[in-house]
Every structure is written in structure tokens, then in C-alpha cells.
Structure 1
């Protein structure tokens, strides 16, 4: 298509008008785009352009794409700003993969912008621009207020330009715009600048906070013009009374000294929010009535704290203590706790684990329990192993069973229907032991092919793998599948007891006493597990024996599964639904002066364990089996987040021995303080009811329980670092004297949403990308790794060209030549590192945990050989569970190369004699 054709009167773009920088209007002329793009090509390739048909065609395509993009945005004609057109030109060049030309165009724009700034006065608003006020009257636009709001938002933030935000926002305003939309325009303008300067995330959050202040003030009848610090104490009192009146809050909150708590609020802590964090709270967490938010951020944290302090001896003092911890971002409670603390239905727990019985009434009872638990925002883990296999005899009807799979379809659809009370998607994971006769069909539940009646696309699945299967696979031996109706006790056995009984059943099957069984090569089943995991992301690989042999509660039950996110390892039975109550330490907030701030961490953990223990007594239980279990064992799960950000502060690459050592150091400190805090709570409140006979009671701490696993493993198949840095004698003595308040104390959850609120990296995850697009209810915006930006600024390397390089390489720094090698190593992303480093760091954490961790594994170019070696390594290192296997699409792999930050840890798979570590 010729450029001349683009300018014909019939073109949809012919009716468009362009707003120039001085505010005047001119007709849209595509030929000017052609000229500008041609100049950019000339700057890169010189005079070769005139004789190049390829370049001529590229210019024409870019021009056509820009015209089409602008025309789509303004289908019926209208006005577009010159800067918007130039943004579309940049985007078209990037999509055409004309990287050098795009960079030249960026430099051209930047140079001309600087020239204009040096000779022109700032753009002023049109003198006739008006706004429509809430009362319907029309008034002049208050430009002074706009400037004041933006200057306040930019205060103390480096690298941001208040005047530029105001001037750019003015371009998008029109005469008669609703007054409320002016602030929205400022928010959107600041948000659009985040990719150039991460500081604008904080600016955008402050502007959004001003919107929220006006919304809450209107809903609570507070002074609209009052500043946020002055309105906060009034806001807490007004919110509590309104919340009780609207039947949103527990009436017990009115008994607090609201004046004292209001005075304790710290409005300045609102400045910690980035845009994504505050927007997340606004969209999903703040209580609202008839569409209007009733909570401001510090009121929200105080409401959560008050709900957790309801049964304390001095609830006001404890509420302030809990508030200070939450609002400082040193620790964050889990999403259900944030949703529901202080409300009329205080379902604060995160995870529920159930065992499904082999009876129709029990099966549908379990599905009903799933629905009730999911309604109040609980994640579910279901153990389906007891349910008889396909073809098993049904004594009552003299028929044959359809097996587990049809019931899982019902579970899948129930999760979709209930969807956690309308607040987020329903979430459930089904577990099945690897000796179950339905295991092969279970593996295929998430496939996109086959009978849709036997597929579950909306739920998660996980393998519950006994050590014996791994041992058989490594020795290339056979494996036998049974129906649990024939071998019911296998479900409750583990370690050497399982091995002995399993071999007895195999002997019986060989004699013909158990006709319903199937023998397969163990290696074949293992290979299928890994193949399906690669293809569908499920079922996850979790290990039965480490979960049970290291469980503190093995004296009163069996761990039959993990939870939705594979970090919880608690006993379940027909009588007990296991419950876990979660929260996470922000590890990044505890790095000070290049080292771990141990004293601050101690204070955080002490208060956090108390908050978690309070959840158990305050919690709303949807089913009685959950209440019974939680009160008997009182498990909690303290985890961590911001591990990657902590490494950035310490100048450590995730793929390094030093990062593995830090994982060990940090987890030992958290474990030390958490166990001690639970023992101190036992001294104050008493030990949990089933403490007697537990591993704690026997003087066996998590670090000691590794030996129990080693004793059950054969042929030295366990290789775990058991070194300790701290003197654990005082903790051992405290536990021996007072017992433990909680049967389980630690578990590392994914923290996907709460880490967004706090503004740190998720859980123990490596950085996924250094530049990526976030989507929420307000649209999409680009996020750049702020730690990387800070380092590049220090090196004098941060500019618009760098932003576009990061976009081109999908957030990777590895092929950007001007970035120093040490920075490339530190900012290698998840797919640019060897996944074995994740396992090694996970193993160091696991030795200190009484539960498990949500450990995602990343592999850019998976293969059967690599997956086999990786998951065998996880087993050898004593990990209890793994979570998602993430692989990289081929289109994303083309532009970036693996980082050579550090050699892979030297490990070897027994069944992989030609692995790289041995060459």
C-alpha cells in the first residue's frame, strides 16, 4: 500500500485532527509520519535508504500501522495529541523488530524535547477550560489545585517531574469535564510514566490515595477538604460505627478505645505504597457499601489488627502493636485474614485439607464441605486416595465402581460455581497416591484432548509419591497399582512400614489373591508423570515420606496430602479437616546496612506468631471438623516474602553459593525465633492439647527430624546439609519446659497478592522479568524492576533507550551490551538460571521448616533428561513438595540467551550417568 493512498480523502484518518504542543489544531497528515520514520532509518543506515526496496516497504508498513492504530482509537473522527502519534510510531517500529531504528527515533524525540524545554515556557491550561462540579454547576478548572495535588504526590520522590505530569494531563482534558475526572486524569498520566521512572509508582499511589480520601470522606460524612493526617482519627471512628450499622463489622469493635487507636494511626505510612499495592487494596480488600469504599489504608490495617486482638487481655494495646507490624510492611497477614478480620464472618484461615472417604455419602459430604469452605475464601487440598479405583466391586449394589475421576469433575465444577464468595476464583487441589489404580487416568485430568467428561481444567492436581516408587524407578524395577478397597491400610503407612506392607500386597497379587491390580515399570510411570507435568503443569510432584517422617504430629495421625499451594503438611482423616493460618515476614524489610537485621526480625516474628495463634480462636469455622482439628493442634504457618529483593540489597545473584547460604541463614533465624515464640506462648497460654508424644515433646526439632528421614532411606539416597549457626540449646530448654503452643509453626506460601500490596518480590521466587506489564481493573501498565533501575542509574545507564532495550528483550538484561557483567548476573531472571539453584536454596530452607514451601521450578528449555535430574535432585535433597513447573514459550526464548552468572551446582542423578556434572 503506497503512502499516497494513505492520504486520500476516503481514508478514515482524513477526518482526524492533531493537537499540537501549543494547543492548536491541524489536520492529520500521514506523510509526516513517513518523513519522520525515513529520517530515523537514515540516521541508522545512511544513504542506503534511497536504494533499498526493503527499507521503503518497512517505512510504508510502519506508517500504515500507525494510521490504523490512530483510526481505531477515534473511529468517527476526533482529536489526537502529537505525542500519542509519536508513541504509536515507536510501538510500530518495535513490533517490526527494527530495534536500531526505534532507538534512533527515541533519541530524536528526546533531543527535540530537550530543545523545546530550553526555549519554551511550560504549557498552560486554556483559559476557557471548565469543569462540571458534583452539584451540576460549571466552574473554571482549578489549575492551582492540580499543581498542588501533583507536587504533594511528588514530594520526596527522586527522579519525578510534577510540572510534566500536570502539563501532560492537561492535554487529555476537555471543556466541561466532570470535576472528579480531573484527578483520574492525573492518576492515569503518572501511571503512564512508571516505565521510565519507577518513582512514578509512588506518585500514582499518592494521587490514587487522594481519590480514595474523597470517596471515603463522602461515604462517611467527613470533611471533604480536610487533609489526610487530620481526617484519619475521625475516619476510624466513623468507619467502625458505619461498618456496624451496615452489618459489615463485628459489633465487638465498638468496645475498643477508638480515640486512642485513631491517635495511633500513622498517615505517613501511606507513602510506602506503590500504585499496584494501593490499587490492589482498593479493588479487592477495602470494605465498601453501595460501591463506595469506607476504609482508608491505615484504617484498613487497624481494622485487621483490632479483629486479631479481640480476645487479648489488653485488646487496645495489642491492636496498636499488631497495627504497627502490619502497617510497617515488616509482616503481612494472608488474604483471608485481610479480607475478614473484624467482620461478622471472620474466616481468617488460608488452607483446608480434607480426606475423602470411600463411600457415596462421604464423597458428597466432602464436596459439600469444599463448597462451604471455599465460600469464605479458603483454599482446598483434597486427599482422594481412599476412593476405590475404576472396576472395583461395590458390595451394596453388586456393581463396579467408576473410580475417582468422575467425582473430580464434580469437584472442579463446584470450585467454579462457588468461587470463594465472589471475591476470587475457587481454588482446589486433588491429591492421589502413586500406587492407586486410577493414577494413569488421574495424570491426564488437565489435558486438552480426550473425553471432556473426564477432564478438570479449573482445578489443580498433585501426585503423592512414596519413596519406594523413586527407589524402584532408580533401580529400573516394576511398580504395582492397587485399588484402595483391596489395600486400605497403605493409605496410612509410610517409611519402612509402607515398604513392608506394600511388598506383602505385591506377593498376594502375584499369588492371584488380589485380581484387581496392574504392574508397570516404575520408570515408565515416572516418565509419564514428568511428561504430563511438562505438557499441562500438573500433577505437581509431592513426596509422601518426607512429609510424614518429619511431621511433628505423626503420633496422632498421618499427612495424606498437602494443600492448594503445596506448603502445608498436616494430618487429615474422616474426623479431622486440617486448617492452616498463614502470614509472611517481609525479608527485604529486614536487611539493614548490607546484612540481616536480626533484632528487627526477632521483634517481627514474636508479634507475628502471636497474631497467628489468635486466628485459631477468633476464626469462623464453616464446618465442625475444621474447628475440632484446629483447636486440638493449633497449627500456624509463618512464611516469608521478598527473598529476591533481599538478595538485590545484599548484591547477591540468586544463582550463587552465597545466595544458598543466605537462604540457610535467614531461615534458621526465622525458625529459631518462631519456635521460641510458640514456646513462650505455651508458657503464657498453655501447650496445644495433643502436644504430649509429639516430636517437640520428644526433643526433636525440625533440624533433628532430618535423621528420621535418613534412617528410612536406603542406599544413602538423602544428601542434606545439616549445619547450624545458632546455639539452639536455649530454645530446646524452653520447649522442654513449657511445650509448644502450636503443633506446626512455619510454612512458606506463595504470597502472590500480599507481596503486591507490600511491593516486594513474591515469596522465595526469583525475578520473573525485569520489565513486565501488570493488568488490573484500571487497565494495564508497565513495571520496571526498581532495584535494577537504581543500579543502572548509579552506572549512568538509565535512559529511554534502555527502557526500549528492556522491552525488546522481554525484560532480560543479558543481551544489552553496555550493562556490566556483575549486574547481568544479579538480575538474571527465573528462566535464565539453572533450576538446580532453586532446589539447593529450597533444601537449605526445608531443613528448618516443620511444614513445607511453595517451590516453583523454572526451565527455559525442558527435556525429559533435565526434568528427571531436577526432580530426583529435589528428592535427594529432602524436599517435601514442589509446586508449578514453569517453562518458557518458544517465542519468548528467541531474543534472550541464558545468563552465565555462575556454574550450576555440582549434582548428579543416579539414573543419569552422562549428566554435565560428571563430564
Structure 2
């Protein structure tokens, strides 16, 4: 026995018994640990390294850690399963930085498991048979089913594998297709997720086995290999076949595929929940003849390779990018995941256009919408320049039909061009609040009225100038104009807009402008809020904050936001604004009750580089998009998992502490993001239009708040402007290098990529603690794992609690036995005063050079509440808001547990919310 073993706590391990795989008990022999670890090291470093000081030291460290872990778990004797000991060995190797040795040990375990399975006689079902791929019938291998469930349940608690197999057998019939057996296990396991969240991981692992078999067949790989063995082969085979089928860029073949294959981390597959993996399988993995060609880690490496194509050392960068994506610390947006590395690498998320006031421009814009939508882009169209209903048409001496008929065509185009057949086309039309067609624009989503003047499949948003809010507060009139008569208002904001608008009002009063309408500003505002409640549209976004704080106002005007209201970029006739998105998983960066700043720094630095690469690699469907992206290079780094981060901190969303955390976390993210862009500028050069920007003037986002404050009257601006970090080094770096990107940050909805990662959407509060989620991949039971963990700690998680959560629509507030602290922590979106959402958003907005997709929730909205909420958003300096979500006014009487209700205005995962992410 080694010295390390001799010094181990003998009193603890002497009476320890090990449960073998067949259930028998044997005495614990510590020397077997050191033997197994030594073999793993020799498998990596070669037999000639036997007895080396490095190996002896490493073996001693690992063995000591394993013995200490077992001793802590069992205290004064007891029993431990052999698999648990081997798990501790794997963990100790990984903690010691011995990844290659850990992989060798995993392979060693899997090889022995496979050998045991081959040596043991087949445990055939006495009655059921399966039909193999060649059409032959064979007895159902009951032992294989048990082994698959055992492997899927590995290291998870609360899993009853025996009953899982028994229940799955009830769904089988004699002569079932062989592939149907795994499907039955998947369906059975997913039905238990509401009882135990760990069944989500079990279901994902069973699905992963299905994908492994499907991919092996598609790539002509052996089906008896473990994932650790198949991954390096799968990457090379996938790249070869993907290029052959004209799915992948031929440039991927130039990578060192052996090196990249060895860099894949099969253990990262264990992070998936069922919803995340099923979403990737259904909608992201490349396929041919309906067979998937990608395994999860191959998928992430393909995305990373596509983003590293133009790096000086593409192999090294691909591994760096892969490690970030596969860790779930950061996730690229959906278009990037769809198309990176493919022959049409349209990686950008959002496109913003301005439609000019002539037929050629209008139908050119509609064509551009179609081309951009084809390759999975979300669209924001500024329609304000188009003349209003009744305006004179000089060429024909007729009268215009206004904006609405053209929007009907836009709506139908979005339906027809459904993002390459992958998801519904998505577009949002913006109109400034002084446009003469604004009142009809407000009614586009209504279910009553002339259907020819309704657009049920597209989104709408108000582009509201500060002057309207001021007039509304003062109960004054507001004048509506046709842009053909007041053509320059479209490009003005701040005091310049105010002066020119009042000038046009004077002209109208003098009769020099005849096509106009005077309305009560308060009544127009009320109508905006009324239709927002009734239809969820148009969203309310604020023109002046977007422009006054824009870093690029020296080169144009922000005329609208995008589909999801987080992008605020300039548009003009020859430039379609483009933004490239990705999101940091904030929850992954909260460890031991605090924000892991060093980890966040690493994540953000690499993420900004990946986003900047998108601009050069991107496929541009229209030249105006290439022009804009090349000149300004905007990106939008955001975040997701904010609610999960609060759970880790033990902090309720509706609390000053949560608002403070929003401020602290966003400042750190902003600090690292701006520094990363400035560092890239030193390496690659500043963006073309940098000179004259706010960055060039030394004005950072936090400083630009003063520009908005100077514009607002007293009482119309109230924002916490405190800072905590020393920003001097960042300011000096920007002054020295410039910025690589005109815009760096924007918080998108992350509706789909948060599902992949398995965290809460974006900055959203929890929707419900138990509900059924519906999206394009099907229906999924979602249970809040943090709540379950805390209820288990209190001894409160049982079947009665599950039924209570169903009965109370996923709410814990009316369940008496739940402590008040947990009720506050797990309050859901409709149980939180929406003003807390605005306050947290305001703290983020001060650090953002763009905006954020801010949904607002109100269980029982009324006019006064809505008015107060949206005026608060304006006072706090928010640039945009997104959906207003409300619940129906009535509900069914409950005599039994019922499914959770959906919001009245729109579903929580509406497909258009996914267009950006």
C-alpha cells in the first residue's frame, strides 16, 4: 500500500463495505483506487512513464481526495456502491486538471461496462419480440432496457429505474420496431418530470442514446461505441458528409479535425435537460433524409469552427469558442446556431429598415423583408415616411390609401416566407405617434373591423417622442400630420424635434398645412394603452432616449427598434441596420452566493470576439445590410438566466436586493464588454465610422444619461446613476484604441436558446413553478428545480405538493405549509408588482448602449395601473418596452387539478419571440 493510503483515516474506511454491481458486499480495498488511477495515467502517457514522480504524486493526490470524499459521506463506516467510488475518481481527476486522464478513465469504465454486458446472457422478455432493421423478429432484450435506464439515471437522485422499465413495458407490443423501445422509455421518463425534476436529465440521456444510434447510422459509424469513443470519429465523418451533401462550407475541411475531435467533451452532454436537447434535435441539428448528422458536441464544434474561419489560428480559436458554447456559460443566437459553418452562413439576428415614400422603395422593402426572412432574420420596419391616408399623389393627381394597405402585404409576406421553413416569419412595423394614420395603425391587431385592414400575423410598435408624453401630462392637444407635409420630422429628435413640430402646428393653424388632425394627447395615450391591453400591440417604445443616448448619432438617426425591441441602430435608404446577438448565462456565473467576476470576464471577452467575427463571416442577403454592418460593426451581447441567478442568491425578484443585483451584474458585464471591444480595436482596428461618435468623444453609456437628463424637464427624469467600478482604465483604452463595434450590448428575449441551456429566459421573472410549455418542438412539463430543491430541504416535496401546484396554477402563494420566505422567493411573474421589473430594467439600461426586451406582467390591469407603469418606464429612462402580458379575467371552477392557464395577450413562447434568439 502506498504512503498515501497508509496515512488515510483507517478508522473510517476499515469497516467500509462496497456494494458490487451484482449486489454482493465486499470489503473496501483502497489499493484498487491507486491501481485504476495509475492505469489511466499510463494509458495517456505511456508505459515508459511508470514510476515517474509526476504520476506518483498525481495518483497520491487523487487517491487521497477519493478517500476523503468517501470518509465524509459515510463518517463512521457503512456501505458505498462501486459506481460511486468510480464517480469520485472521475471528479478528482477533473478537479486536478487531468482532463485527458479523466477521459481515459471514462473510456476504461465504459469498455468494462460494455464487456460485462457482452459476457452476461441476454435477459429476454418472456413474451415480447422486436422487429429489427432487417425485418427479423428477436426477443425483446429486457437487460438492455435496464442497462439503458441505469446509465441514464447515473449520479441522479430520486430515480426509480425499475418502475420506469416496468411502466415503459406497458407501452410496448409484440413485434414493435426496435427503435420504438427507446422511444417508450423516453415517453415514460418525460411523464415523471413533474414528480422529480431529475427525470428531465434521465429523459435527455435516453434521447441522447437515440440520437447516437441515429447519427451512427447516418454517418456509417459503429453502433457499439460509447459516446467518448464515437465523438472524435463523428466530427470527421460529419464534416466529410456535410460537405458532400452541400450542407457545410468546404473551408471546414481545412481544420485539424483530429485535434478538434479530441477536444470534444462528451461529459458536457450531461448538462442537458429534456427540453433543451429535444429542441436541438428538432430544429438545430443538420440532417439529411430526415436523419440527424450531428451529436450535441459536434453541433457546438461546428458552430465554433464556423465562427473561427478567419482567425489567425482557427484551430485554437475554434476550441476556445467550443469550450465556451459547450459549457453553457454563453450561447450564440439562433441564426448563428442554425447557419454557422454552412454554405449560407446568415448568422445575424436582427435587421432594421426604413421604408421611403414611393412605390419602388415600398416594394423594394417588402422584397428585402422576404430575402432577409428566408435566412432566419427578425425584421423591424420603420414606416413613418410613407404618406398618410388622403395625401395627394403628385404623379397621378390622386389620393393615397395610407400606410395600412401596404402593411397587409408585409403581413402576408411574413407568413409566406417562413424563415427557410424553420419557423414563422416575423416582422414588426413601427410608426411615429404624430403620423396621421396612427389611430388606424393602433387597431391593426384587433379581431373586429375590416379584415382587409388587419394584420394578425405581424407585430406593431409605437415610436413615441417625449413631446407626446409631456403634452399628455399637461392635458394638451396633439397634432397628427402626413409625413409628406412635414418631411423632416422623421429625422429630428430632442429639442430640434420640439421646435420643428411646433412650427408645423403654427402652419396648420394658419391654413398652410391642410391635411392634419388635432386630438387630445391624453386621449391618444389612453387609446394606445387600451389597444395594448386588448391585443398586446402596438408596443410602446421611446424615440428620444434611443437617439439622445445613441453612440452613432453623428452618422444618422434611430428610426425604430427591431422585432424584439432591444436593438437601437440607425437606418437610412442605403443602410439596413444589422445586429448580431448572443447571451451570457448569468446563472452560471453565480457561485457560492456571489457573482464570479473572473469567470464573467473570461466569458465576455471571448463572446465579444465571437460576435465581432460574425460581421465578417456573415452572409448578406441584401447589399444595404452589408454596407451598414461593414461601416459600423454593431453587436448585441445580452444575458439570460437572471431569475435563476436570483434563486442562487436566495433573493426574491420583487426586492431592492434584486434591483441592486441587476445594477451590479450589468455594470460588470458592460465593463468587460466595452474593454473587450476596445482591445479588439487595438488588434483589428476601430470601426469605420468611429470618429465623431460618443465613444470618440469619451462619452460612455453611463455618461450619456446626462444627455437625456438635460433634455427632460424637471420631474420627467429619475434614474440612479451610481457606479461601483473604476472606469478609468476602460476610458483610457478606448481613447487609445477606439472601439471595434459601434454598439456592444443589447438584451434579447432568448426564448429558445435559454431552453437549450436550461435557464430562465433573458431578464424574465419565473412564469410559473409548474406548467406545460408549448413551442414548435411540442409540449413539455416544466417544473422549477430550484423550488423543488428548497422544498426537499424543508421536507415538503411530495405528491400532495405536486397536486397543490397544479391546482394553484404553479403558484406557491396559497399553499399554507410553504414558508413565507419561499413564497417571496418563488413569486411568479403575475404575482410580482410590475414596477419591480421596471426598476431593475432601469438599472440595466444605464449601462447599455442599446436596449432590452422588457416584458411587463399584470394579472389584473386597469387604465390607472397601465398609465402609471408606462409613465414610470419613461421617467426611468427606458428606451423600449416589449409585450404587456395579462391573464384572462375568468377561470374555470376547480374541482380537480388543472393545467396552468396561458396569458391572455400572447403565449409565453410565441414563435416570433424566437426570431432573434
TM-score (normalizing by structure 2): 0.84
> Conserved in 2, the CA contact under 8 Å of 1:568 and 1:747?
yes
Say whether residues 1:543 and 2:542 are aligned partners: yes
CA distance in 2 between partners of 1:355 and 1:742 (Å): 22
Deviation at 1:366, TM superposition (A): 0.3
Alignment pair present for 1:666 and 2:665: yes
Using the TM superposition, give the Cα deviation of residue 714 of structure 1 relative to its aligned residue in structure 2, in angstroms: 1.5
Structure 1 segment 162-181 matched on structure 2, within 5 A: 162-181=161-180
* Residue pair 1:308, 1:611 contacting (<8 A) in 2 also: yes
Equivalences for residues 43-54 of structure 1 within 5 A:
none
**Aligned-residue offset at 1:140:** 1.1
Superposition RMSD in Å = 1.1
Structure 2 CA distance for aligned equivalents of residues 808 and 305 of structure 1? 45
- Distance in 2, Cα, partners of 1:475 & 1:504: 19
Alignment of 1:219-234 (within 5 A): 219-234=218-233
Question: Deviation string for 1:736-767 (max 9, x for gaps)?
Answer: 00000000000000000000000000000000
User: Residue 648 in 1 paired to residue 662 in 2?
Assistant: no
Partner of 2:815: 816
How far apart are 1:125 and its partner, in Å? Answer: 7.7
Residue 83 of structure 1 corresponds to none
For the residues of structure 1 that align with 2:580 and 2:777, how far apart are their CA atoms? 31
Does the 8 Å contact 1:372/1:622 carry over to 2? Answer: yes
Residue aligning to 2:58 = none
Matched with 2:470 is: 471
Give 1:97's aligned residue. none
Query: Given that residues 464 and 541 in structure 1 are in contact (C-alpha distance below 8 angstroms), is that contact kept between their aligned partners in structure 2?
Result: yes
- Asked if structure 2 preserves the Cα contact closer than 8 Å seen for 1:192 and 1:781, the reply is no
SS in 1 for 2:155: coil
Describe the SS at the equivalent of 2:759.
coil
Partner of 2:771: 772
Cα offset, 1:159, TM superposition: 1.3
Corresponding residue of 2:634: 635
8 Å CA contact retained: 1:125, 1:170? no
Structure-2 residue corresponding to 1:208: 207
* Distance in 1 between residues matched to 2:781 and 2:325, nearest whole Å: 27
Deviation, 1:893, is 9.6
CA separation in 2, counterparts of 1:528 and 1:802? 43
| Distance in 2 separating the partners of 1:569 and 1:776 | 28
Change (3 A) 1:259 1:330: same
TM-superposed deviation, 1:702: 0.1
- 2: CA distance between counterparts of 1:781 and 1:871? 33
* Equivalent-residue separation in structure 2 for 1:879 and 1:585 (angstroms): 21
- Deviations 1:577-603 (Å, cap 9, x if unpaired)? 000000000000000100000000000
Superposition deviation, residue 290 in structure 1 = 0.4
Is residue 753 of structure 2 the alignment partner of residue 754 of structure 1? yes
Q: Residue in 1 aligned with 2:521?
A: 522
Per the TM alignment, residue 780 of structure 1 is displaced from its structure 2 partner at its CA by: 3.1
Q: CA–CA distance in 2 between the matches of 1:416 and 1:779?
A: 21
Q: Which whole-Å CA distance do the structure 1 matches of 2:518 and 2:828 have between them? A: 42
TM-aligned CA deviation for residue 296 of structure 1: 0.1
**1:700 deviation in Å?**
0.2
1:570 corresponds in structure 2 to 569
2:890 aligns to what SS in structure 1? helix
How far 1:564 sits from its partner (Å)?
0.1
Residue 126 of structure 2: SS of its match in structure 1?
Answer: coil
SS of 2:691's partner is coil
- Evaluate the alpha carbon distance shift between residue 893 and residue 354 of structure 1 in structure 2; reply closer, same or farther with a 3 A threshold: farther
Deviates more, 1:755-764 or 1:133-142: 133-142
CA distance, structure 1, for counterparts of residue 668 and residue 158 of structure 2: 37
Residues 193-213 of structure 1, C-alpha deviation per residue, up to 9 Å, x if partnerless? 101000000000000000000
Q: Secondary structure at the match of 2:882?
A: coil
- Paired residue for 1:120? none
The DSSP-based 3-state class of the residue aligned with 1:828 is: coil
Which SS does the other structure have where 2:813 is aligned?
Answer: coil
* Distance in 2 between residues matched to 1:579 and 1:495, nearest whole Å: 25
In the other structure, the counterpart of 1:153 is 152
Alpha-carbon distance in structure 1 between the residues aligned to 2:891 and 2:692:
53
**SS in structure 1 at match of 2:752:** helix
Change in Cα spacing, 1:710 to 1:463, as seen in structure 2 (3 Å) is same
Cα distance in 2 for residues equivalent to 1:195 and 1:306: 38
**SS of equivalent residue, structure 2 residue 537:** coil
Q: 1:141 offset after TM fit, Å?
A: 1.1
Q: Which residue of 2 aligns with 1:888?
A: 887
Shift of 1:891: 3.4
Matching residue of 1:80: none
Look up the match of 1:500: 499
Query: How many angstroms does 1:163 deviate by?
Result: 1.4
Give the conservation status (yes or no) of the 8 Å contact 2:124–2:141. no
Cα contact 1:860–1:893 (8 A) shared by 2 = no
Does the CA-based 8 Å contact 1:591-1:646 persist in structure 2? yes
Counterpart-to-counterpart distance in 2, 1:380 and 1:833: 31
Distance 2:736 2:777 in 1: 55
Which whole-Å CA distance do the structure 1 matches of 2:302 and 2:169 have between them?
A: 38
Aligned to 1:312: 311
Alpha-carbon offset, residue 171 of structure 1? 1.8
Q: How does 1:781-796 map to 2 (within 5 A)?
A: 781-796=780-795
2:124, 2:143 within 8 Å by CA — same for their partners in 1? Answer: no
1:715 CA displacement:
2.6
| Cα pair 1:634 1:743 within 8 Å, conserved | yes
CA contact (8 A) 1:235 1:299 kept: yes
Find the counterpart in structure 2 of residue 189 from structure 1. Answer: 188
Distance 1:510 1:895 in 2: 60
Structure 1, unmatched stretches of 5+, are 1-123, 897-919
Structure-2 separation of matches of 1:141 and 1:639: 49
CA contact (8 A) 1:352 1:580 kept: yes
Match of 1:617 in 2: 616
Question: Gaps spanning 5+ residues in structure 2: where?
Answer: 1-122, 896-917
Partner of 1:4: none
How far does residue 302 in structure 1 lie from its aligned partner after superposition? 0.1
